[in-house]
Copies of this chain bind each other. A is one copy, B any other.
Amino acid sequence: LLSEAQRKRVDVVLVSPRNPLNIGAAARAMANFGFARLTVVAPFAAHWREARSAIGAPDLLKKAQEVATLAEAVANCTLVIGTGTLTRRKAEQRAVLLPNLPPVMREEVARKGRRAAIVFGPEKRGLTREDLSQCHLLVEIPTDARQPSMNLGQAVAVCLYELSRIPVAGNAAKPRAQEMPDKADAATLDRLAGLVEQCAKAAGYSPAIMEAANRHDLRLMLRRLQFNAGDARRALGVFRRILWRLEHPRN
């Protein structure tokens, strides 16, 4: 169970939602379970307008943030959680079942300065591999193998229910009591990834044809490695210096 202050540190992110009714349903579920911060990535303009102007649309839908890319949406988040099923693919990052998400989420947002995002893909195809490479963690709703794919509004409702669910006495999980340093946010990791890529390129690390695949692997790896803010700062410093030297060789 997240406290009210903790819920304020959770963003719900919808990537390119298509159906205005689903957008409305997602917003309503947020209101039902006490979440207020909605971000919509690259929505279909007409549908997005329609959803926001619907009669009875909750306030949080009107105040929702609209951005062009998932990277922007999660830039200041320290934990990005992608949703989906693993029936058709193997996860490239750590995956948890939804009932196991609350302690992970609570541990994150219990700390000041941390923010988490829970990200939902478009109705038809879900999150792409590219989208998921921006996520630290994949959460899977346990569904029947014969009909694994959930409706968007219902998936949002079920996830937020789980996060605001009052734990049944006896199996409440204790968050690890330990001082943890600041985690690097997504924007910092992207900056670091960009810099590493430039260095690799300047050093002629691999042929151009491998660029996209390398970028993808690098993004996953940086999220796996769990840089704290200081680590990221140090790594940025080293790579900046290396890049400068690669571009200004001593003769």
A230-251: contact bitstring with B at CB < 8 Å (1 yes, 0 no)? 0100100110011011100111
Q: Are A154 and B100 in contact (CB under 8 A)?
A: no
The reply to whether A172 and B228 contact each other, CB–CB distance below 8 Å, is no
A196 CB, nearest partner CB in chain B, Å: 7
Contact B203 A244 (CB under 8 A): yes
Q: B28, A173: Cβ atoms under 8 Å?
A: no
Select A228's contact among B33, B98, B224, beta carbons within 8 Å. Answer: B224
A102 — which chain B residues lie within 8 A by C-beta? 172
Task: Please measure, in the bound complex, the distance between the C-alpha atom of A202 and the C-alpha atom of B158, giving whole angstroms.
Answer: 52
The docked-state distance in angstroms from the alpha carbon of A181 to that of B17 is 35
Which B residues are in CB contact (< 8 Å) with A31? 144, 146-147
A224 to nearest B CB, angstroms?
7
Once the chains are docked, how many angstroms separate the CA of A141 from the CA of B245? 48
Q: Does A128 contact B (CB under 8 A)?
A: no
Query: Can you name the residue of chain B whose Cβ is closest to the Cβ of A244?
Result: B203
How far is the CB of A64 from the nearest CB of chain B, in Å? Answer: 16
Please encode chain A, from 173 to 193, with 1 for each CB lying within 8 Å of some chain B CB and 0 for all others. 111101000000000000000
Residues of B within 8 A of A143 (CB): 32-33
| CB-defined contacts of A46 to chain B, threshold 8 Å | none
Q: Is the CB of B204 within 8 A of A245?
A: yes
Chain A residues at the B interface, C-beta cutoff of 8 Å: 21, 25, 28-29, 31-34, 58, 94-100, 102-104, 107, 141-144, 146-151, 153-154, 157-158, 161-162, 164-176, 178, 196, 199-200, 202-205, 217, 221, 224-228, 231, 234, 237-238, 241-242, 244-246, 249-251
